Every structure is written in C-alpha cells, then in structure tokens.
Amino acid sequence: MGASSVVVVGDGDTWRLDDYGLSIAHLSASTIHRYRTSLDWFIREAALLGIDSPAQLDIQRIRRLVSKRQASGIARATIRTDLAALSSYLRFRDDLNLAHLRLALTRPKNTNGQHLPRTLDVAHVVDTLERLANDPALSRLDYAVLETLYDAGLRVGELVQLDIDDVNFADGRIHVRHGKGDKPRIVPVAERCCVALQQYLGTRSDTSQALFLGARGSRLGVRTVYRIVDRYFPGAHPHLLRHSYATHLLENGADLRSLQELLGHARLSTTEIYTHVSHERLAQVYRELHPRGK
C-alpha cells in the first residue's frame, strides 16, 4: 500500500504509508484494499481536525472520529474493518509509542441484538430468474451474472475474479480460487447456470480468460455487478443474493457444516447467523398459517 494509493492531506511521508503497506503485505488482497479504504477515510477526517501527523493523535480525537463514523449510518461490518485497520496501523507505529491508543478502539455495540441479514423471498428470486431466462432481449451477461451469484452463493469479489477455466461445465462445478482469506473452494451449480454461462460466452469473440467482461473488454468491475443486481432486483445488492442463497438452502434442509463449506466461511459461528434467519422465517410461517398462531 503506497502513499499514492491513499488520499492524504499534508505530508504523506509523515504517516509512513509505504512502510505500513509492507507490514501488511501478508494479508489477502481484499483485506489490504479494505484497510486502504478505511485509512483513506481516517486520514482525511483527521486532517479536518488539524491532525497532520499520527504523533498528534490522542484518545479523545480517535473516539471523536470513530463516533463520527458510527453516526454516519454506515454498516457495522465496515466500522469493524475501520477499527481493525486503524488498530493495525497504530500497532505498526511503534516508533511513536501509540499502542495505548488502541484502547480507544472499542467495537460499536449492537443495541438491537444480533443483526440478521435481509433476504429475498425464494419465490421472487426464482420467478424473476425464470422470466429473465426466457427473455431473448435480455443481456446474456446480465442473466449469467445473476444466475451465478444466486446458484453459487458467491461474494461479488469472487465472481469478478472467475476465469473461464474455473467453470467445469461437464460436472456443474465452479472453482472459486480467490475466496475470502485466499481460501479456495469448489461449489456446485445447476445446469441452468451452466447454460446461462455458455450462452453468454457464445456472444463473445475475444480471447480473454476472464469469465465476465465489462463493456471495454476488461474484467467486469464490482460496481457494474451492483448495477446489474439493482436493475432486476431494485434496492438489492449482490451480497443479498448470497444471503438468500444461504437461507433458502437452510430452509430446504441443508446442514450447517455443508453450508459452511459452500459459503467458504472459516468459522461455523459465521454460518450460524443463517439459523436465526431461518427461525425468523419459521416463526412467520407459524404466525400466518397456524390456526392459533396470532
């Protein structure tokens, strides 16, 4: 992570960003990118407080910046990444003896209990994809992206990194080589997903190995995937299709261990959040259908 990759007001060398980039080079590319984005925000906001050097940091100022981030309404997961990035940086700056400032980095409390991921109704997803599959005027790229996101439960970062050779059309499997934490996995997909991908590839005349290409012939970008999802599922985002994939599998009898492998979660506890979503669905069914459920 070089100084040029972070928007810095003032003397970038003061923050020793090049050296910090070397110190986290062992992390995955996605983590380094998230840390870079978080530090980008932090350094700009610090400059607004007149902080042009990490030596000027104190607990009160750090807490003020963290509180501002929380008040912006940004997702808790993003705030946790912000805190992890800042904590990592403070640990790195041992030349300034800033370790005590890490005590100020308390994670935001969830006063409403555990946050449950929103999901799409299974009938809505299936009906929409069926309609799109039979629409000859629809972009084959758009349809292939949507089918792959939902059929494989991929993260958007995993989707855009897929190569053609990662898809085994004969066996109906996708090799996810760039999973979170650089943990590869193989996920099964339905025949309709393979057909969607083959139809899309049939529209191309290039020699690129990237599975999905953008308008300029380069690898499809994350922002474009967000626009595709929002176009056909208004208000939704790619990760919402992943949440729906997990919840729909669980509701149809998938066990947690299998779901953990399919999602590429390092810890089973991460997967267990979907049991809460499923329980909420069961409670809804009970309230709606049981004669004395209301």
Residues designated as active site: 155, 180, 239, 242, 265, 274
Residue type, 262: L
The region, left, alpha or beta by phi > 0 then psi within -120 to 50, assigned to residue 46 is alpha
CA dist 278 and 114 (Å) reads 14
Question: Of the candidates 153, 133, 152, 130, which has an alpha carbon nearest to the alpha carbon of residue 143?
Answer: 133
Question: Of the candidates 218, 217, 148, which has an alpha carbon nearest to the alpha carbon of residue 189?
Answer: 148
DSSP reduced 3-state for 202: coil
Tokens 């607990």 correspond to 59
DSSP letter for 13, please.
G
